[in-house]
Chain A
Amino acid sequence: MQTKAYKHPVRFVILVFLAVSAAACGGGGDPPDAGASDVSAAPAAVAGNGLTAVELEQGIGPIRDLDLGDVDGSLAAAGGEIFAVKCSACHKLGERYVGPDLSTVTGQRTPEYIMNMILGPEEMVARHPEAKKLFAEFNYTPMANQQLTEEDARAVLEYLRQVGAENPGAQN
């Protein structure tokens, strides 16, 4: 017949022992993972959730320390168009829908948090305590990653700032 390897029990024994011994060698040649996921090595980590204070405040993602001026009307208009196509199937302004009402979100979250949530909802929902809380509250409906660029997300932020300014009563 054609194959021989598995007819021989000793071969199988070798395979098992090789697997065991490889595990036993324990990191012999692998470089340590330098990624930021090593919680204990991150001095600024906050106990319990593994996030830094900055991550808690500004969300997890590429956006940090925005310097915002007054609302830019034309940028907000562009953001409104993007919002209509990519966000409005789940978010309405002024009412809870599939996702939270966003008419007051700029009063509740930092601008960096909002943009990071748009750009990387998967990681935010997996790791950030506030996002996790909302994920559960909204029946674990995943927030879709709609592939906005940072530029798009910035425009949507501006739109939400404009909407928020029109809802001053809701601002914190």
Chain B
Amino acid sequence: MTNSRFRLVMLVAAAVFAGAFTYACQSSSGPAAGAGDAASDVYVAPGDYDEFYAFMSGGFSGNVTVHGLPSGRLIKTIAVFSQYPENSWGYSEETKNMLNTSFGMIPWDDAHHPQLSQTDGIPDGRWLFINGNNTPRVARIDLSKFETEEILEIPNSAGNHASPFITPNSEYVIASTRFSVPIPQADVPISTFKENFSGTLSFIRADRPGEMDIAFQIHVPGFDYDIAHSGRQVSDGWAFFTTYNTEQEHTLLEVNASQADKDFVAAVNWRRAETCVAEEAGRLVPGQYVHNVMGEDRIGRSELRNSVRMIEPADCSDMIYFLPTPKSPHGVDVDPTGEYIVAGGKLATTIPVHSFSKMIDAIANERFETVINGIPVLEYEAVLAGEVQEPGLGPLHTEFDANGNAYTSMFISSEIVKWKLGTWEVLDRQEAYYSTGHLMIPGGDSSEPFGKYVVALNKITKDRYLPTGPELAHSAQLIDISGDNMRLLLDFPTMGEPHYAQGLPAELVTANQVQMFDLTENSNPHATLQESDARIERAGNTVHVYMTTIRSHFAPDNIEGVMVGDTVLFHVTNLEQDWDVPHGFAVIGARNSELLVMPGETRTLRWVPQRVGVFPFYCTDFCSALHQEMQGYVRVSPRGSNPTISFGTGD
């Protein structure tokens, strides 16, 4: 830099400094420094909280991740369908039943669509539901504890993708089979698809904690059923599902299922279906499925159920209609008023928007093109509200703000398109990096969008982060939607593949937080509520170790009397009664995981010692300055040596 240029820079800097100083001292309530630049808009100062919680599906990780917005910080992984050694979910004796299915214990799933519970169509912060796609399941997560409390398997389903979309008062979460299959399952040639394969739409009771169940299923033609959303406000009482492969092909679907100009949105009047169920329409069909619930004693228990009520459309008139929709539609999204039903025809050149009120009129006037399996197909023109012309390529999913605007992801052209409900004009475009799938606006699929941001959940990452070998973290992007034009603020990485997400103002969740479990209410039958009760009991080849933890020791911490091949059950009770003081427990050779025991809680680890010797166990969660001293030994004697049981701490 030359001297004169340096002087010029200093002069400018001094002027800026003076201006800035004056400005800063004049205004204590004005905009923050650098307002309007992306960095300060996403900056959450150390010690401050984010404004929103964002719940991201963990995709093929099987879990849910929780991020703060606008910072994008990852603040929690909630174990759901996948074993999670970090906190022994699915490994500890108390939690492993939660992953039971009619196929046995399945330690993994593919989680796609989180849905917050709603009251009057507005997210209420009580629960989060999410689907398991591969082994059809729906989970309910309690947001006072950020813990999975209930998992229900879905029978007569294969590929539980259009799930678990919630109704406005959380009456149901809805689900469908993505893949049509023989129902009931049967040994038939795959080539008999058109004769033998069909689908189901499921309505799962969701507003009674611990009592989730399949209220009824609707038997539908052998298409693929893709995504869903419930009606709201004027369309409350209805649910909408997209279909593709109405060609009913069974091989090379990427070619064969893309032939028809239009597939369908299935519109289901679930209040009408309830009436039919009350009149005992349909029949009980066999179908094994498992219901898992975490009890008041914090122990997961499973129950096998054997049948489900199935309604044929022909047996319940006025329950279900097909709305022709171009072309292989993916998402179906209902605007905050409930009037507009937006379908993302992923191969379509427009975004078709159906009108709920026109649909009701078309039904009343019997504007039917045809009838398929007892399901009337309405005329496209009779239900269409409008089409967004030339929105981009590959429209998938739409979210809404509170000002009558819609935001649609364009997978192929890799952008987000903002358009106006009613006029269908495109207002703005924002490039996305790269290939956006779902979008999420906090409350953006409810009656009352909270707005402010849209999060793009991108499928392709490429060059957005430092390279990490062949596999890259999926990229999410935060975009400001508070002004007329969208403004990209932030990239942040996510876990697994986040499909859909949900967001809401933090205070709806923080108000109900559980910080610990009351020791005096611990009803685990293997709890040890005071250190003087710590002990060891042998019952045949099983050895129960009743153990307590507090900063920073185990009781007992010296254990003798165990033999090779015994089943040792360490029942560890954390006697702490303060927030953020879990203790861990790990023992060498354990073929499952550690335990992570919350204050006041009891968790049990199964351990089968294989070798003679003296083996250490220790606390895994750094608990105090003497955490490294929180250890113990268990002596393992030869099989058949019948050693004397002895135990103690500090003796």
Residues on A lying within 8 angstroms of B by beta carbon are 2-3, 5-6, 10-11, 13-15, 17-22, 24-25, 28-29, 84-86, 88-90, 97-98, 139-142, 144-147
Contacts and interface: CB of A to CB of B under 8 A. Distances in A.
B106 interface: no
Contact of B38 (A3, A10, A145, A147): A3
A2 B431 contact: yes
Given A17-B21, A21-B20, A29-B28, A84 B551 contact: no
Contacts of A141: 551-552, 624-626
B575 A89 contact: yes
A147 to B, nearest CB: 4
Given A88-B530, A88-B531, A145-B578, A18 B550 contact: no
A19 B638 CA distance: 69
Interface string B18-62: 001101110010000110011110000000000000000000000
Given A18-B33, A86-B575, A3 B488 contact: yes
Most buried by A among B23, B40, B488, B551: B551
B530 A11 contact: no
Contacts of A11: 34, 37
A30 to B, nearest CB: 9
Contacts of B28: 28-29
Contacts of B555: 89
Contact of A5 (B17, B38, B553): B38
Contact of B16 (A13, A28, A90): A13
19 contacts: A5-B34, A13-B16, A17-B20, A18-B24, A18-B34, A19-B33, A25-B24, A28-B28, A88-B531, A89-B548, A90-B550, A97-B650, A141-B552, A142-B551, A142-B624, A145-B578, A146-B576, A146-B578, A147-B577
A147 B521 CA distance: 14
Contact of A146 (B24, B531, B548, B577): B577
B574 to A, nearest CB: 10
Nearest to B433: A2
Contacts of B626: 139-141
Nearest to A3: B38
Contacts of A145: 577-578
Contacts of A3: 38, 488
Interface string B501-544: 00000000000000010011000000001111000000000000
Contacts of A142: 551, 624-625
Contacts of A13: 13, 16
Contacts of A140: 624-626
B519 A85 contact: yes
Given A85-B519, A144-B576, 16 more contacts: A5-B39, A10-B12, A11-B34, A13-B13, A15-B33, A15-B34, A17-B20, A89-B530, A89-B548, A89-B553, A141-B551, A141-B626, A142-B551, A144-B550, A144-B551, A145-B577
A76 to B, nearest CB: 17
A18 B20 contact: yes
Contacts of A29: 28
Contacts of B13: 13, 17
A60 to B, nearest CB: 18
A21 B25 contact: yes
Contacts of A18: 20, 23-24, 33-34
B563 interface: no
B581 interface: yes
Nearest to A24: B21
B577 A89 contact: no
Contact of B21 (A5, A21, A97, A139): A21
A86 B577 contact: yes
B420 to A, nearest CB: 24
A141 B576 CA distance: 14
Contacts of A17: 13, 16-17, 20-21
Contact of A85 (B17, B24, B516, B520): B520
Nearest to B33: A18
B532 A14 contact: no
Contacts of B625: 139-142
Nearest to A6: B39
A139 B627 CA distance: 12
Contacts of B40: 15
B532 to A, nearest CB: 6
A21 B17 contact: yes
B39 A98 contact: no
A88 B34 contact: no
A5 B39 CA distance: 8
Most buried by B among A10, A15, A21, A28: A21
